[in-house]
Amino acid sequence: MKKVGHTHRRDGVFSIKSIRVRLLLIMLALMCGSLSLLTGLSYYFSDKALSKSVNETAAAISLDYSQRSSAFVKELVVFVQDIAVNPHIVNPQNRQEIVDVLALSLQRNNKFTGINYGDLAGNVIRAQGDTAYLGDRDYYLKAIKTKELTISEPLVSKGSGRLSLAIAAPVLVNGEVKAVIQATMPLDSLNELVGAIRFMDSGYGFIADQSGVIIAHAVHSEINGKVRIGKSPAEASLAVEVPEVDERLADLFTKAIAGEGPVQGVYTLRNRPIFTVLTPVELPGGARWLLGVSAPESEVIAEVVTLNTILLLAALGCVVSGAFVIILISRRFARPEEKYFKAFRYVDDAVGIVSFASGTFIEVNDAFFELLGYERDEILARPVESLGLWVEEQNSQVQWLLKNERSVSKVETFWRGRNGEIRIGLFSADVFEAFA
């Protein structure tokens, strides 16, 4: 075949046509996709597991101290009820007998600052022997009306002047209220209880009564009885709304006070997200408080953030090391292929690859285009017969040899160029299974 001089064009090292580059890109894409999927799944499940663990820890602490608070109050209630059934209180012989019982009871339990005996009009005898009036207290009147023990909202004790809770237990004779035993407990005792709560680095506990009034706070005891977080229509005379707390805390309170189990969520306090768990504290007389365990959300999710950072760094490390390994592997495996490809592409003889089934060109080298005068888009994917590259007799002869012998070697053929010029050359071909 007549040869025409031509210039060899060599692709750059990082050409997309390079087998090595293609292999590298494919393997990198597969590896990055796999690592991304693995990292995403690890992030999802680790985030769920750690968040669940933290939430369960907070809920367990809240439930534990809720039960402690309930037990603490019930112990005080039982103490007051025992006084109410004391024979010297149910049927006293004289005033001094009542005073003696009250004074002895006050000595036995230092949680109370005052224990009083009152009549149905609200006139009370104190343990010190003097008198006072409690007929204007709602909890006192409720105990007389319902014949059941009642617990007050936070109030300022008339005896001590301290913010306190009052317990009123009716003294019953033949099912009728004869008198009322009233005991006052400062909120300091509850502060000690919630002060023992430990959650995260700076977490704290607090207790709110049924109307949402904070009655004990481990960090800010100065707000006891002065801050209301709930939306309850019951107004506490000492309470005020907190402007820095968003509505989410009030919503959490409403759900928790009406529910049976812990409720958890996030609210904002002074522009900081705060994670909290609210757990009901069941009290005698149908009263209910809420015990809260709170901590900055940044501390709660710190372990999750740390784990996710480690996962991300590990994934990046795997990508870098994997890319290095893939480069080495691609260089080793792609080098023989690249040699064959370059030999095919830059050899001076016209070389082509044809699909035996469809008779269309799959690939041809540069010499093929230059010798016959065709452009790439005129050759590739087109049937050989439609191009009229050789005469019909030779085409049939070559087809028969390839079909039966699977090989043709140095057969003299007449080739027709794009301009119709006939050229003589030697034709050789082999049939092989591609990608077998």
HSE value, Cβ hemisphere, 13 Å, CA-based, for 142: 14
- Among 307, 302, 311, 250, which residue's Cα sits nearest to residue 276? 250
Confidence of residue 434 (pLDDT cuts 50, 70, 90): low
Domain extent listing, the chain = 1-52+189-336, 85-186, 347-436
Average pLDDT, whole number, for the chain?
81
CATH code: domain 347-436 is 3.30.450.20
Instruction: Say how many C-beta atoms besides its own lie within 10 A of residue 49's C-beta.
Output: 12
pLDDT digits over 100-122, tens only? 999 999 999 999 999 999 999 99
- Within 8 A by CB and 6+ apart from 156, the residues are 162, 163, 164, 238
**Which residues sit opposite 221 in a β-bridge?**
none
Give the dihedral of Cα atoms 173, 175, 179, 185; nearest 10 deg.
120
Amino acid at 415: W
pLDDT digits over 23-32, tens only? 667 777 777 7
DSSP reduced 3-state for 278: strand
Residue pair 144/180 in contact by the 8 Å Cβ criterion = yes
Helix count and strand count (H, E) for the chain? 12, 18
pLDDT at 393: 67
Residue 47 has pLDDT above 90, yes or no: no
Average pLDDT over residues 348-371: 81
Cα distance from N-terminal residue to C-terminal residue, the chain: 32
Average pLDDT over residues 330-343: 62
pLDDT digits over 307-335, tens only? 778 877 877 787 777 777 766 766 665 55
Task: Measure the CA–CA gap between 294 and 394, rounded to whole angstroms.
Answer: 91
Least confident of 15-19, 54-58, 366-370: 15-19
Task: Measure the CA–CA gap between 79 and 84, rounded to whole angstroms.
Answer: 9
Task: Measure the CA–CA gap between 248 and 228, rounded to whole angstroms.
Answer: 14
The answer to whether the 85-186 and 347-436 domains have the same CATH topology is yes
pLDDT at 10: 43
Q: Which residue has the higher pLDDT, 20 or 47?
A: 47
- What CATH fold (topology level) applies to the domain 1-52+189-336? Beta-Lactamase (3.30.450)
**Which residues sit opposite 208 in a β-bridge?**
214, 290
Q: What share of the chain is helix, strand, coil (3-state, %, to 5)?
A: 45, 25, 30
pLDDT digits over 244-264, tens only? 557 888 899 999 998 878 999
pLDDT at 357: 76
Architecture label for domain 85-186: 2-Layer Sandwich (3.30)
Average pLDDT over residues 400-428: 80
Confidence of residue 4 (pLDDT cuts 50, 70, 90): very low
